[in-house]
Chain A
Amino acid sequence: DQQVKQNSPSLSVQEGRISILNCDYTNSMFDYFLWYKKYPAEGPTFLISISSIKDKNEDGRFTVFLNKSAKHLSLHIVPSQPGDSAVYFCAASGNQFYFGTGTSLTVIP
């Protein structure tokens, strides 16, 4: 029973362009949504979060958008850099954290 879904397993973008990673969820009771970034052989690291009462949060090159009616959130990275190449996990929190299956982003120099 996957409560958080990332339907795109991989994404490739050119350096300098925008990367858009998508995530869908099923439980309207989630109160926070988060994005984590993971490099090989490392644990996930926190990137950015958004409260369920907001629709946008921005931190430098990273912006997360939340559409509660569609139960959808997205992460925008602009401009994309080669160092952004990693697996990105979407997560939602209530009493515990539920993670999506990840999207592998490759930024091509």
Chain B
Amino acid sequence: QVQLVQSGAEVSQPGASVKVSCRTSGYAFTGYSIHWVRQAPGQGLEWMGRISPNTGATNYAQTFQGRVTVTRDTSLTTVYMELSRLMSDDTALYFCARALLLPGYYYPLDVWGQGTTVTVSS
């Protein structure tokens, strides 16, 4: 079955970087974009960016431009999200999710990973 399995919880210091992985299985990896969405404690959902696994092309939310990098390893069908220059406000639950990838249209997020808790603390 379709699965997105994320790496485990992370604790990082302010100013450091964190890299979260999203291992996919059960579907055609290059047929779906992978998006990253985060949720701060007690808050709503915030879209961070996406990658098209076929080309490696990325799009990022303006809020995270220059701090977030999304990459993929097609041989491992895995996507990575790295967030740099961490601040305490980056403490959140980070989700990956897939959306169908076809030109000219954007699609809903139909399957989600289980989430990865990132805690930024000194």
- Determine if chain A interacts with chain B: no
